[in-house]
Amino acid sequence: MSDHTVEISRIAGLLKESKSILFITGAGISADSGLPTYRGIGGLYNDRLTEDGIPVETALAGETLMSRPEVTWKYLLQIEENCRKASFNRAHQVIAMMEQRFERVWVLTQNIDGFHQAAGSRNVIDIHGDLHKLVCMGCGWRKEVADYGGIEIPPRCPECAGLVRPEVVFFGEILPQDKLAVFERQLEQGFDIYFSVGTSSVFPYISQPIMAAKCLGRMTVEINPEDSGISGLVDIRLRMRAAEALDAIWEGIIQGG
């Protein structure tokens, strides 16, 4: 961490003068919980075809869910089993504590693991949904589950026998308009400092807030051990894992009172 001492001190100093913070988080923030990032270093599939001979994006596409639900659910179960014994880590905890300390803190996450909420964050926009929230595609029956243990694959609704799916955005599906509207309202207010944590920033709705912040002259920080689509744009770049970086930043904040 010594290589990043100056940057961490600078970030902590900027945060002490800030009232509002936006965190944009991706799979990398949950890597310290032991979750694979699916793509990238240490990924679950990492440019390999699934055992069904199709890319994971095809297996987890909305079209496949409709035509071959047993295939989609097979890989959902694999992903959920990887999440099952994991929990939130220090990075999630620090963000939750910052929400208590600062006037306005919001999280836009691509993750479907629910760790931000479990760690105590309330202002979370889980733009891709939550793996643990199930909904019937027929009658709208809903249930939140701790895990998929004991669930028939593919699951059927106990009310109407319709196909049940998790409330997540599959490949080829549109983003939830209600969550996008909440995010747009927060972006309109603006933030003093913008963080990109553990995301490759390949989707426009993930990279654009950082680009907009640059146009507004607001500070931008990236925490990511790998290069991303915004690495060359941010004001401060921490090539670190999320838990280590955010813990060090938090220490820098509280040391100054």
Query: Closest Cα partner for 118 from 79, 144, 151?
Result: 144
Does residue 10 sit in helix, strand or coil? Answer: helix
User: What is the spatial distance between Cα 121 and Cα 115, in angstroms, rounded to a whole number?
Assistant: 9
What are the catalytic residues? 128
210 touches 203 (CB < 8 A): no
User: What is the spatial distance between Cα 77 and Cα 60, in angstroms, rounded to a whole number?
Assistant: 11
User: What is the spatial distance between Cα 6 and Cα 3, in angstroms, rounded to a whole number?
Assistant: 8
3-state helix, strand, coil in the chain (%, to 5): 40, 20, 40
Cα angle at 218 between 20 and 197, to 5 degrees?
Answer: 70
40 touches 46 (CB < 8 A): yes
Token pair listed for 246? 């955010």
Kindly report the three-state secondary structure assignment for every residue of 67-112.
HCHHHHHHHHHHHHHHHHCCCCCHHHHHHHHHHHHCCEEEEEECCC
User: Regarding beta strands 129-136 and 164-168, do their DSSP bridges make them parallel or antiparallel, or are they unpaired?
Assistant: antiparallel
Cis peptide before 176 (omega within 30 of 0): no
